């Protein structure tokens, strides 16, 4: 076991960070760029039953503090990403490929999960169910409707799965009582992991060159990523680890630009960390840089493993 190795549920990762869904993961070429980098895994774009073109452009904008996007979930459909998981397995590397699926339609979601479970060749296939996309016009985020989310999970786990290990990608929560309430819902189901957080929904960034909203969809409203959302991401990781860290794996996501950022996510309770805005900005070489920075921090602090660091802020 190396210094940076970790597990998501029982699935082993050589390194504790990888791309966030939506970043370099739509096409085969994108996925191979992440797969051939120093990432510990690769995750697909959140896929839907049928391929989607997404929202009109421009739909992404960034500045030094972070990013805004309203992509509208462009993807090639669930069958393509199931194929990609099998294709990467055939390359002979043990790097996990995680399939992200959208929860926009419950019946289609159940069909996608059953198909993936039957068609994947991996003995353990991680599937991240995205209940938190803020960028589909006219669609509310399922993870803010607790009754609907509970019903969705009940339908998902009414089926038995042979290979897939299901986790959730969550919206940011801002009140501890909400995190406690959804944690109690999650305790009822055999979930394997939670990803905290998706982007901060329905923010706005003005383009200083034009004095207009920086993106077109939803009249300029979109999901906020990057450093803007790091404190909220750390808070969610910290609180979900407190309530559920003994039951499932917490994955941190939000504001990761450096090894120090990864360190803080793990300190709060993340076993693995996703990188989004910085990956789009810097490309896959960011994994190599961040890996070296994180190693230097761990060695300096005489920390022997990610498992030793994970959640240690709770013990202080």
Q: What is the per-residue pLDDT across 13-24, written as a single tens digit (0 to 9) for each?
A: 999 999 999 999
Question: Is it the case that residue 190 has pLDDT exceeding 80?
Answer: yes
Domains of the chain (ranges, CATH numbers): 6-315 (3.20.20.70)
Average of per-residue pLDDT across 64-75: 96
Question: What is the rounded (10 degree) CA torsion for 51, 56, 62, 67?
Answer: -60
Question: Is it the case that residue 287 has pLDDT exceeding 90?
Answer: yes
Q: How far apart are CA 26 and CA 138, in angstroms?
A: 23
Question: Is it the case that residue 1 has pLDDT exceeding 70?
Answer: no
Q: How far apart are CA 230 and CA 200, in angstroms?
A: 10
Question: Is it the case that residue 103 has pLDDT exceeding 80?
Answer: no
Q: How confident is the model at residue 106 (pLDDT cuts 50, 70, 90)?
A: confident
Average of per-residue pLDDT across 281-285: 98
Element (H, E) at 267: helix 259-268
Active site residues per annotation? 133
Tens of pLDDT, residues 28-61: 999 999 999 999 999 999 999 999 999 999 999 9
Q: How far apart are CA 112 and CA 124, in angstroms?
A: 16
Percent of the chain with pLDDT over 70: 100
Query: How far is the CA of 264 from the CAs of 29, 225, 233, 254, 303, in angstroms?
Result: 31, 17, 10, 11, 14
Output the pTM of the full model: 0.97
Question: What is the rounded (10 degree) CA torsion for 138, 139, 145, 150?
Answer: 150
Contacts of 134 (CB under 8 A, 6+ apart): 141, 171, 198, 199, 201, 202, 222, 223
Residue 224 in contact with residue 200, Cβ under 8 Å? Answer: yes
């Amino acid at each position: 076991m190396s210094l940076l190795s970790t597990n998501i549920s029982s699935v082993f990762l050589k390194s504790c960070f990888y791309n966030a869904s939506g970043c370099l993961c739509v096409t085969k070429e994108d996925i191979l760029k992440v797969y051939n980098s120093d990432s510990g895994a690769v995750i697909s774009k959140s896929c839907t039953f049928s391929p989607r073109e997404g929202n009109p452009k421009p739909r992404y904008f960034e500045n030094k503090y972070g990013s805004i996007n309203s992509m509208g979930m462009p993807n090639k459909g669930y069958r393509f990403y199931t194929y990609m998981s099998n294709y990467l397995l055939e390359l002979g590397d043990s790097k996990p490929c995680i399939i992200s699926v959208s929860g926009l339609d419950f019946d289609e979601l159940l069909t996608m999960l059953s198909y993936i479970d039957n068609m994947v060749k991996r003995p353990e296939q991680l599937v991240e169910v995205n209940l938190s996309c803020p960028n589909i016009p006219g669609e509310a985020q399922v993870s803010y409707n607790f009754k609907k989310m509970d019903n969705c999970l009940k339908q998902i786990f009414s089926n038995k799965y042979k290979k897939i290990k299901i986790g959730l990608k969550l919206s940011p929560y801002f009140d501890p009582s909400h995190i406690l309430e959804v944690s109690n819902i999650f305790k009822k189901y055999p979930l394997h992991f939670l990803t905290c957080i998706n982007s901060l929904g329905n923010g706005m960034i003005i383009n200083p060159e034009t004095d207009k909203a920086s993106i077109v969809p939803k009249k300029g409203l979109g999901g906020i990523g990057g450093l803007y959302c790091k404190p909220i991401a750390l808070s969610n990781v910290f609180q979900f680890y407190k309530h559920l860290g003994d039951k499932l794996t917490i994955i941190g996501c939000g504001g990761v630009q450096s090894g120090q950022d990864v360190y803080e996510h793990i300190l709060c309770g993340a076993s693995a960390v996703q990188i989004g805005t910085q990956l789009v900005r810097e490309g896959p070489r960011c994994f190599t840089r961040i890996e070296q920075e994180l190693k230097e921090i761990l060695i300096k602090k005489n920390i022997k493993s990610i498992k030793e660091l994970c959640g240690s802020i709770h013990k202080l």
